[in-house]
A and B are shown apart, each in its own frame.
Chain A
Amino acid sequence: MSRFDSASSDYGNAIRLLRDFVRKHSDRRVFEPRRVARELGRIEMTALAYAFDALASDGLLVRVFRIRPPTTHTLLDQDFYSVDEIPAELRDAFNRPFCTDDAEIVQVFRNART
């Protein structure tokens, strides 16, 4: 029996919803929980967080960190596997340097197939 079947019904629904969402958006490189919650509509954040964990454990998604610069707020497309890997300085969408201490570090999930 897979963990999808064994999960409680709320969490099981969240997992199914998220799994379908990931398949439907296979062209998307990363999934940010906040954005997915908005696009899915009515879903409990706790259940969604559980669903992300479950799909990461099953190898469908990979947990990575991305940076939201203080200058443009456009999420950068570089993946970091740990916070320690993030350099002191990065560049925003207009190639302007910024100090990553001032940036938002966002946990996102990368589609394991991309």
Chain B
Amino acid sequence: MNTAERERLFALLDAACTAQQISDLLREFKPLDKEIRVSGNSEELLQSVRRAVDRGTVPLQRVLRLLARAEENGRQHIFYYKPRTRVHAVKYNDGDSVAQSLFGENWAASEKFPRFYLEPHGMKWADFRVETVDGTDYHSWTLKVYNGRVINRFLGESRINDNRFSREYERVLTREVWLVRWHSFGLLEFRIPSHDRESRRTCLGDLEIFWDRVAQGIRREDFVEWDLGPVRNALVQNAEKRASEYRLGNAQFVDSRDGSAQFNPAYPEESLFDAPARRSAVALFRECSQLVVYWKPPKGQTAFNEEIRTEIGGYKSNGIRIGARTTPEAVNHVTLRLREF
């Protein structure tokens, strides 16, 4: 890896990893190298990783693996699907068979996953992995794709004279992580990155492209969209009873004649029901079309320690958006909680 690639790797780590994730990596190697610092802010921790890599204590491959996992969670839209029938659920529980449909019979030997691209051009298969959880029947598989597109990034406007000005753009290659994830309890996720330039049209267009790309192994007709409408309604109805688990932020409701009303707390740390007037007004509605939910970290776990903010039902009724970078445990926590409603 040359210097430029190395700089790119650390910039990506900085953007993708939480301080906790970097610290966990350093803790793993601390017994081998007493000079490793395991506390500090993200910048200090990354500096510690750099030095440990230079000393040869932390292998570069291990750093790449950290990035590969960290970049899969958060700053994304997740669209949920359920298998159409029990037969389809059984079919997709066989991860190896799905991988064979996509990559051929000897996929493990021929594809040599996981692959890692710092600068992918176009769509590149990156990983297919099956994971199990000890002591449970639960298992999952994950299909990962890197997508690199050339976009024009606006840099700024400058004045030439009184009547002329120029706008400067830079051509840059994006590096997007697209995922399909199957849970053995019968749920499929399509994860599409969320970014500043997106629109409903571009995001749903990407979702269509992704379905087409994986069609050889994952057939759309085998699934139905999981409509999160009833989940949103239940989240509103149970918000006060389950205040230790989550709180509500902005919400939009539809009335019996397809009109709508939107309720917005003044501050992100305020909850929907903090103002009595909002609570009384919300009670008049039955159908919630969009909802911001802040999930609280469960007591006794350390995988994430801040609220996870999710928007439920933005671009599609089976979709959520997680705006911030987060951990796999946090995203799984949200998915599992949604299934309870």
Contacts and interface: CB of A to CB of B under 8 A. Distances in A.
Interface of A: 28-29, 32, 35, 72-77, 91, 93-95, 97
B189 interface: no
A14 B107 CA distance: 70
B269 A74 contact: no
Contact of A77 (B266, B268, B311, B321): B268
Given A72-B250, A74-B249, A93 B292 contact: yes
Nearest to B321: A95
Contacts of B314: 94-95
Nearest to B324: A77
Interface in B153-178: none
Interface residues of B, number: 19
Most chain A CB within 10 A, of B267, B311, B314, is at B267
Interface of B: 194, 196, 199, 249-250, 252, 262, 264-269, 290, 292, 311, 314, 321, 323
Given A73-B266, A74-B267, 10 more contacts: A29-B269, A73-B264, A74-B250, A74-B264, A74-B265, A75-B266, A93-B249, A93-B292, A95-B311, A97-B199
A29 to B, nearest CB: 7
Contact of B290 (A29, A77, A94): A94
A110 to B, nearest CB: 13
A28 B323 contact: no
B168 to A, nearest CB: 15
